[in-house]
Structure 1
Amino acid sequence: MKIGVSGASGQLGRAVVAELVRRGAGHGVVGISRTPERLQGQAEGRHGDFDAPQSLVRAYEGLDRVLLIPSVDLRPGVRGRQMKDAIDAANNAGVKHLFLVSAAGTRQAAPPEMREAYWTAEQQLIRTAPTWTILRMNYYAEAMAQEIQMSLGTGVLTGLGEERVAYVSRDDLAAAAAGALLSEGHAGAIYNVCGPAAVTGADRARMAAELTGKPVQFAVITEALLRGGLAQANLPPEIVEAMVEIKHSFVASAFDIVSGDAERLAGRKPRALRDVLAATLT
């Protein structure tokens, strides 16, 4: 069997390729990227650009299974179009089974909402792919660790309200994706790949304080204050909008999903947020 990873040069893509190669099992591994040279020594590299659908048709030819990892392009409507084109390209190339990395809590949405990309991709996949599997990821533990690091100077972690999030580490998501790609029985399945427990804002603050020895508290602020702080950090407008949407998603419980899917697919227990924070903050 020949397995492709589309978006293979990104952090998640590289982790999935490494996991597939490590597990071996005699399958061919193909990394598809705009910069396939970055995969040298890991797997066969093929050029494929989400903004050039014809390049994807060529890149997907001869592959039995393909994992589609969305790009990091946050311009409204772009990622949804990219994923739709990539799914069409895989179908045209004759890929038998498509796997999609989506997001927890995906529901109907339209631009400029960031989640629109996942809704558009899921619907196109379900409607057109001969066989499909969806991996809905929770929020990255590493992304939250980075946010906490940047907040230690003030001693305050902020949110827009009470929140519960089952943060998942990137490596655990990669292992779950590799496990699904290498095994059977996933046709038509929608998995929630998450950490072992939902964590509140107060929980995050307590963990950060215990691990760093510094006073840290969680505070609820207004959207206006959040936007002001992000703007003062000179972040691009699309990043500001993405962060505001994510914080609202936390309050709306979009990421308050705990399942055993990560462990079942990966064959190992996922890391807790505290473990990721310990590796980052200490």
Structure 2
Amino acid sequence: MKIGISGASGKLGATIIAELSARTGHHQLVAISRSPEKLGKGMENRKGDYDQPDTLRDAYAGLDRLVLIPSADLRPGVRGAQLKTAIDVAVGAGVQHIFLLSAAGTREASTPAIGETYWTGEQHLIRVAPRWTILRMNYYSQSMIDEIMMSLVQGVLAGIGEDCVAYVSRNDVAAATAGAVAGEGHAGAIYNLTGPEALTGRDVAAIASDTLGKAIVFSSITEEQLRSGLSHAGLPDVVADAIVDIKKTFVEGHFDVLTHDVERLSGRAPAFFRDVLTATKS
């Protein structure tokens, strides 16, 4: 069986490839990226750019299964359109089973909401793919840890209300994805990849304070205050808008989802947020 991984030069894509390599010795892996020169050696590398459908036709040719990871482009409407194009090209190329990395809490959404990407991708995949599997990721532990590190100077971790998130390690997402792709019986399934516990903003601040040895508090601020702070930090409007939107979904409960799907698919228990933070500190 030939398995393609789109977005292979990114952190998640590279980790999925490493996990698949450890599980699928009798399968052939194809690493696909818009920057194939960044890919490692030892497997077939192909150029595939979501914005250049002609490259996708060649990249997806002959594949039995394909993993689609959304791009990092935060412009409203862009990623949803990219996914629709990639899915259409993959189906036209004869790919029989497509695995889409999506987001926890996905529901009907339109631009400029960041969730539009996942709603558009999921709905189109279900409509047109011969066989499909959707893997909805909770929010990365590593992304929250980046935010914690940037908050150390002021000692304040900001949110826009009471939130609850089942943070999941990128490594656990990769392992669960690899387990699904290399296994059988996952067609038509929607999985929620979460960590082992749901944490509030105050929980995260307490864990960070204890682990890092520096007092950090959680503070609830308004959307306007958050946007202003992001702007003063020099972040582009499109990035600031995305961060505010994500924080809103935290409060609305999109990521307050807790399952055993990571362990079910990967064969190992997901890492606790505290342990991921400790490992990052080390």
TM over 0.5: yes
Query: Structure 1 42/267 Cα, relative in aligned 2: closer, same or farther at 3 Å?
Result: farther
User: Corresponding residue for 2:204?
Assistant: 204
Distance in 2 between residues matched to 1:62 and 1:212, nearest whole Å? 49
Counterparts of 2:164 and 2:178, CA distance in 1: 27
Q: Deviations for 1:242-270, whole angstroms, at most 9, x for unmatched residues?
A: 00000000000100000000111111111
Q: Corresponding residue for 1:192? A: 192
- Structure 1 length normalisation: TM-score? 0.98
Q: Conserved in 2, the CA contact under 8 Å of 1:17 and 1:43?
A: no
Deviation of the 1:36 alpha carbon: 1.6
Aligned counterparts of 1:162 and 1:72: Cα–Cα separation in 2: 27
What is the deviation of 1:42?
A: 4.3
Q: Which residue of 1 aligns with 2:48?
A: 48
Aligned partner of residue 164 in structure 1, secondary structure? coil
Residue 82 (structure 2) pairs with residue 92 (structure 1): no
Q: Which residue of structure 1 aligns with residue 166 of structure 2?
A: 166
| Counterpart residue number, 2:180 | 180
Once residues 43 and 116 of structure 1 are traced to their aligned partners in structure 2, the CA distance between those partners, rounded to angstroms, is 34
Letter in 2 for 1:26: H
Mapped partners of 1:35, 1:170: distance in 2 = 21
> Identity of counterpart residues, as a percentage?
58
**SS in structure 1 opposite 2:211?**
helix
Q: Quick one: distance in 1 between partners of 2:107 and 2:137?
A: 14
Counterparts of 2:228 and 2:281, CA distance in 1: 26
Residue pair 2:36, 2:45 contacting (<8 A) in 1 also? yes
Cα distance in 1, alignment partners of residues 223 and 180 from structure 2: 39
Structure 1 residue 22 displacement after superposition: 1.9
User: What secondary structure, in the 3-state scheme, does the structure 1 residue paired with 2:191 have?
Assistant: strand
Whether the aligned pair in 2 keeps the contact of 1:64 and 1:96 (CA below 8 Å) is yes
Match of 1:217 in 2: 217
Worse-superposed segment, 49-58 or 239-248:
49-58
Query: What TM-score do you get using the length of structure 2 for normalisation?
Result: 0.98
Point out where structure 2 has 5 or more consecutive residues left out of the alignment: none
For residue 130 of structure 2, what is the aligned residue in structure 1?
130
State the distance in 1 between where 2:44 and 2:140 align.
28
Residue of structure 2 equivalent to 1:144: 144
| Whole-angstrom CA distance in 2 between matches of 1:86 and 1:42 | 25
* Aligned twin of 1:111: 111
Aligned residues: 282
1: CA distance, partners of 2:6 / 2:17: 10
**Structure 1 unaligned spans of 5+:** none
SS of the residue 1:161 aligns to = coil
Give distance in 2, aligned partners of 1:169 and 1:142: 7
Cα distance in 2 between the residues matched to 1:142 and 1:40? 23
